[in-house]
């Protein structure tokens, strides 16, 4: 399996521009998670999906952020308009359901991340 | 709000020594705990999971869990320079992982 795939790997944009980050989860995984990582705040959960349905978006910082999962193999995280404080590494992760953390240690598998810089 | 706390470090140990990384969590109902390793510029990767009180050993790594004290730790024996990384503690809350900010470990040769 190719693992979780994210694109682009790097994005540099100017304040006010729209940014779209993309993720392809591991085939067969029912859960998809979007995280943001910064030095100040660490790794924060933004939103996660189960079977393409958003379950918890309480971590989405504000209305400028939106996420969709139109099918089991694709998700997007959009920032519109972008601001310099959105600069971070954005990770997508996927996992199997049920995610019970039982024997075998099933957990989330992370993609390589997208490094976003908003000037 | 559920929280996971770690000492940010850096924790510096000489090659061959034991490195001890600690983590506390606020959610008493949590049952599953994980340690991730993150090399600079890379994504987190799972190295240990633990679900029951006590110790769990895997090679040079030992995870320790004390649910009563809401405390989980990771011991790395015979530390190697290749162990230099940031170690993230994660706690399962429902179906989502809550991460600590990580402890940076530096192993000097």
Q: Are B92 and B26 in contact (CB under 8 A)?
A: no
Which chain A residue shows the shortest CA-CA distance from B31?
A: A101
If one compares A99 and B93, the residue with the highest pLDDT of the two is: B93
Return the residue in A36, A49, A101, A112 with the most chain B beta carbons within 10 A, the one to mutate for interface testing: A101
CB contact under 8 A, A43 and B49: no
Q: How far apart are CA B25 and CA B91, in angstroms?
A: 8
Q: How much is the pLDDT for A107?
A: 73
CB contact under 8 A, B44 and A43: yes
Of B44, B49, B88, the CB nearest to A105: B49
pLDDT (tens place) for every residue of chain A, 119 residues total: 689 999 999 999 999 999 999 999 999 898 899 999 998 889 999 999 999 999 989 899 889 999 999 999 999 999 999 999 999 999 999 988 655 555 444 678 899 999 999 99
Q: How far apart are CA A87 and CA A57, in angstroms?
A: 20
Q: What is the pLDDT of residues B32-55, one digit of tens each?
A: 899 999 999 999 998 988 988 999
């Amino acid at each position: 399996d190719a693992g979780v795939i994210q694109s682009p790997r790097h994005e540099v944009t100017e304040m006010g521009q729209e940014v779209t980050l993309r993720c392809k989860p591991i085939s067969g995984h029912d859960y998809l998670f979007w995280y943001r990582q910064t030095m100040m705040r660490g790794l924060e959960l933004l939103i996660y999906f189960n079977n393409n349905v958003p379950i918890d978006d309480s971590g989405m910082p504000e209305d400028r952020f939106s996420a969709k999962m139109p099918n089991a193999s694709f998700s997007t995280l959009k920032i519109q308009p972008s601001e310099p404080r959105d600069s971070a590494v954005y990770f997508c992760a996927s996992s199997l359901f049920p995610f019970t953390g039982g024997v075998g240690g099933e957990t989330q598998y992370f993609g390589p991340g997208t490094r976003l810089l908003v000037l | 709000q559920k929280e996971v706390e770690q000492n940010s470090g850096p924790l510096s140990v000489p090659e061959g020594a034991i490195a001890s990384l600690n983590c506390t969590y606020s959610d008493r109902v949590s049952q599953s705990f994980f340690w991730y390793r993150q090399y600079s510029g890379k994504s987190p990767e799972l190295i240990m999971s633990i679900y029951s009180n006590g110790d769990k050993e895997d090679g040079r790594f030992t995870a320790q869990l004390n649910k009563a004290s809401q405390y989980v730790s990771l011991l790395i024996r015979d530390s190697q320079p290749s162990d230099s990384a940031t170690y993230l503690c994660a706690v399962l809350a429902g179906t989502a992982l809550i991460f600590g900010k990580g402890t940076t470990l530096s192993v000097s040769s």
